[in-house]
Amino acid sequence: QPVNIPIKGRHVFITGGSSGIGLALAHKAISEGARVSLLARSLSKLEEAKKSLHLAYGVDVGIFTADVRDYDAVKRAVVDAGPIDVLVVNHGIFVPQALEKQDLDEVKLMIDVNLMGSFNVIKAALPLMKVRKDNRPASIALMSSQAGQVGIYGYSAYSASKFGLRGLAEALQQELISDNIHISVIYPPDTETPGLEEERKIRPEMTNMIAGSGSVLKAEDVAKKTLDGIKSASFSISFKMEGQMLAIATAGASPQRSFFTAFLELLFSPLSRLITLLFLSNIYRSISKSHAN
């Protein structure tokens, strides 16, 4: 059945909301009449975000400092912020490197922040989400990546953390459907953010090349499509032609609410598998070429 998740007047809580995609999403949500709270580590970045949002809309957002790795700190923030209607688990870090050259500390950091941190946020927020006063539909949205649909050179830890979110999301949807809580997983390509700017300085050439075969989007565009997807309670949210292809190629056992999209998935799955194989064969060819050099 179609579901419509209202945004106006509701409490939208965004982790990693002080920068990039999270901040762009805060702009969108406020412009649609939401009450917004942001969580991140750095107080100064949060204050800056709060100021820019006040300047743009004349409203105040709640800001909460916590490291998502610290469950108790996250719990305190969530209790302070009050019951959440739309939880956007968006925080994330990416340090690309071939596994052989990457320290295990860095691997562990990505898993701890991106995956365990998401468990912490959801576990902390869920009790209050479940007892929300209005019985209107609520949402938990998880920020994955195209690298959460296909493993990419240099992203072993990052991809593992983002693939992990999908398993979490699929299981959680079955557990929460009776509470009228709807899960979304978002799969953006490269997106212009302060995070990507940092990443580009250190990204291995092969990673650059492969990521370059996808689109580069503006954070505002990712935020808009994300909020629209949340509002229609879409389980999977993708971007651009190659993103739709990837979504079809990796539809797997994710739920699908739209009959129309389900029909497209059935119709185009052989073709998208073919395109995926061609895409992969290109990648492997480039890898062996650069290896020979």
Ligand X SMILES: NC(=O)C1=CN([C@@H]2O[C@H](COP(=O)(O)OP(=O)(O)OC[C@H]3O[C@@H](n4cnc5c(N)ncnc54)[C@H](OP(=O)(O)O)[C@@H]3O)[C@@H](O)[C@H]2O)C=CC1
| Binding site residues, ligand X, CB under 6 A | 15-16, 18-22, 40-42, 45, 67-69, 90-94, 113, 117, 143, 145, 188, 190-191, 193-196
Cα–Cα distance for residue pair 99/147, rounded to 1 Å: 15
- Residues of this chain, 59-98, that bind ligand VSD according to CB under 6 A: 94
Q: CB under 8 Å to 141, separation ≥6 — which residues?
A: 86, 87, 88, 89, 90, 183, 184, 185, 186, 226, 229, 230, 237
279 binds ligand VSD, rule: CB under 6 A: yes
Taking the C-alpha atoms of residue 92 and residue 63, their distance in angstroms, rounded to an integer, is 18
Work out how close the CB of 34 gets to ligand VSD at its nearest, in angstroms, rounded to a whole number: 25
d(CA 118, CA 282): 34
The smaller minimum CB distance to ligand VSD, of residues 59 and 278, is found at 278
Told to check if 190 binds ligand VSD by CB under 6 A, we report: yes
Question: Which one of 146, 161, 226, 238 is in contact with ligand VSD (CB under 6 A)?
Answer: 146
Q: Do 55 and 49 contact (CB within 8 A), yes or no? A: no
Q: Does 236 bind ligand VSD (CB under 6 A)?
A: no
DSSP 101: G
Stretch that binds ligand VSD, among 56-64, 100-108, 150-158, 171-179 (CB under 6 A): 150-158
Shortest distance (Å) from residue 261 CB to ligand X: 21
Cβ 84 to ligand VSD shortest distance, Å: 25
Decide: is 254 part of the binding site for ligand VSD (CB under 6 A): no
Residues labelled as active-site residues: 144, 158, 162
Min separation Cβ 79 and ligand VSD, Å = 31
- Of 65 and 208, the one with the shorter C-beta distance to ligand VSD is 208
DSSP secondary structure string, 183-223? EEEE---EEESHHHHHHHHH--HHHHHHHTTS-EEEHHHHH
Angle, in degrees to the nearest 10, between helices 240-249 and 259-292: 100
List phi, psi (to 5°) of 30.
-65, -40
- In the complex, the residues that contact ligand VSD under the rule CB under 6 A are 94, 145-147, 150, 152, 158, 189-190, 196, 199, 210-211, 213-214, 242, 245-246, 249, 272, 275-276, 279
